[in-house]
Amino acid sequence: MSAATTVTTTDARIPLRAHLRHTGALVRRNLLWVRQNPESMFDAILMPIVFTLLFVYVFGGSIGQALGGGQDDYVQYVVPGMMAMMGMSMAMSVGTGFNQDFNTGVMDRFRSLPIGRGSVLFAKIAVELLRMLVATAIMLVVGVLVGFDITSWGGLLAAVALAALFATALMWVFLTLGVVLQNAQSVQAMGFLVLMPLQFGSSIFAPTESMPGWLQSFTDVNPLSSLADAARGLMVGGPVAHDLWVTVAWSVGITAVMAPIAIHKFRTKS
């Protein structure tokens, strides 16, 4: 019997309650590591501060005029949109961290233990979601300080939940990259190649009406545009239903395709 078959058979014999227990133990392990290495939180803490201030004070005046107002109008526009950016950035970091665990031998230790292989991946995702929530909370605090007006707390919570759902789907993509690519630098480089066109070719930072027709065609199908527009509708008012269901559909579709691939690659990686 091959090693991959043995791993799969062993994993299948582990009951659901044991999977949940293993996941909880690994989440605790990852949180303890974060506590011992607080610099691992620098991106979650500093990135939302830097990007919020950068876009509000560098682009807020000019884009705010295009929106028919000024910097205050741009704050209302960009803060909900930046939730999508937080999710993508945290998703990329889960791939680089996963790859580093492989290269430092941590994953060899995990795979030698009688635990569910999926538990390792679910624990990684759970911790990254917590980091994303920290980053989102900091971004919202900074946004309020520069003038963002929260008009609906229920809408805010719904927007955060929607961004977390989409970020979870993207994490499966980057977990797969973390397994198949050779080093963390490759994962990061691939991440930027994917993230930059998706982020700036969307409605996160600016309205799409003034973009060239070919670029508008891309932004119309870009799931980040749907997520950003849904978050705006939920947080500051406006159409919600279409963009919300498009985002949910993208999230479910990406997860359905990439989660089995990521778990299979992890189980069979030599």
Confidence of residue 13 (pLDDT cuts 50, 70, 90): low
Is pLDDT at 4 greater than 60 in this prediction? no
- Whole domain around residue 40: which residue ranges? 3-268
Q: Please name which of 142, 122, 157, 93 lies closest in space to residue 24, comparing C-alpha atoms.
A: 122
Mean pLDDT taken over the chain: 84
Q: How many whole angstroms separate alpha carbon 129 and alpha carbon 132?
A: 5
Confidence of residue 134 (pLDDT cuts 50, 70, 90): very high
Is pLDDT at 257 greater than 90 in this prediction? yes
| Helix, coil or strand: residue 149 | coil
At position 66, the amino acid (one-letter code) is A
Q: Is the whole model's pTM more than 0.85, yes or no?
A: yes
Is pLDDT at 232 greater than 90 in this prediction? yes
List, as one string, the DSSP characters of 93-139: HHHHHHHHHHHTTHHHHHHTSSS-HHHHHHHHHHHHHHHHHHHHHHH
Residue-wise pLDDT for 145-157, tens only, equals: 999 998 889 999 9
Residue-wise pLDDT for 17-34, tens only, equals: 777 787 888 888 878 888
Q: How many whole angstroms separate alpha carbon 189 and alpha carbon 96?
A: 10
Is pLDDT at 101 greater than 80 in this prediction? no
For the chain, the 3-state helix, strand and coil shares in percent, each to the nearest 5, are 85, 0, 15
Domain total of the chain? 1
Q: Please name which of 267, 98, 257 lies closest in space to residue 175, comparing C-alpha atoms.
A: 98
Confidence of residue 6 (pLDDT cuts 50, 70, 90): very low
